[in-house]
Structure 1
């Protein structure tokens, strides 16, 4: 049975995509800790961090760095944070988010009541910052599509 994230990647469930390439996608979480919080997810169903082949893990980290730089630019954040937990969905994913302090980097701060329009706007801000940084070829043409540009 496909994971929740595979169903999002396959378009069965809506997603707010900010990045797509042959190995990974990134989309906005529905429960952001901070504005611009996205998940970097391999297209392959890999259960957890320690199961990932080194080359896939290296690619995910490189994508997370690129997105983190875009988040810092979009929100004037002093840091980009990376969290890996993976208990809620058995499909490896990296949480990448703009950060101002360590105290706020807890899933207890996740906001589940944000309107879709606010989630869309935050995802569009990440997308715009990625395009401005020269990564337009990896930003899907449509917010709701994981298709390569």
Structure 2
């Protein structure tokens, strides 16, 4: 089951990567809830989180936690949101984003047309925070 994430992971579509290893990658969302909204995605094609191998799911969670720490540091956010929604793309992914309140979890409020320069800056902020950790 190939998806847009499969194409991103294969380098067929562009993305602002902040993490890559043999099992998991993380890149900025092109429809962010907040600046710094990052998607953590396994390289293996898995549709739903309930179908993921437990070890792969644990690896995704560990990377999401590391990304979450970096996002929190980069934006000095009081909390970091973590959502596994599963409706947008049929490929397991974790949404990680800085949050100041429950309204930040409203996917009806995503920025459908973010400034590319702002996305580049957000990716740089996360990469810098990851190095600081």
Task: Sort the TM-score into its range (normalised by shorter chain).
Answer: over 0.9
The answer as to 2:50 corresponding to 1:46 is no
TM-score (norm 2): 0.97
| Separation in structure 2 between the aligned mates of residue 100 and residue 59 of structure 1, nearest angstrom | 27
Could you tell me which runs of 5 or more consecutive residues in structure 2 were left unpaired when the two chains were aligned: none
Aligned partner of 2:78 in structure 1 is 78
Aligned partner of 2:60 in structure 1 is 60
Aligned partner of 2:26 in structure 1 is 26
Across the two proteins, how many residue pairs are aligned to each other?
133
Aligned partner of 1:101 in structure 2 is 101
SS in 1 for 2:31: coil
Q: CA deviation at 1:103?
A: 2.1
| Separation in structure 2 between the aligned mates of residue 67 and residue 101 of structure 1, nearest angstrom | 19
| Separation in structure 2 between the aligned mates of residue 88 and residue 68 of structure 1, nearest angstrom | 21
Q: CA deviation at 1:12?
A: 0.4
Q: CA deviation at 1:2?
A: 2.3
Q: CA deviation at 1:26?
A: 0.2
| Separation in structure 2 between the aligned mates of residue 25 and residue 106 of structure 1, nearest angstrom | 24
Runs of 4+ deviating beyond 6 Å: none
| Separation in structure 2 between the aligned mates of residue 94 and residue 42 of structure 1, nearest angstrom | 9
The answer as to 2:119 corresponding to 1:119 is yes
| Separation in structure 1 between the aligned mates of residue 81 and residue 48 of structure 2, nearest angstrom | 19
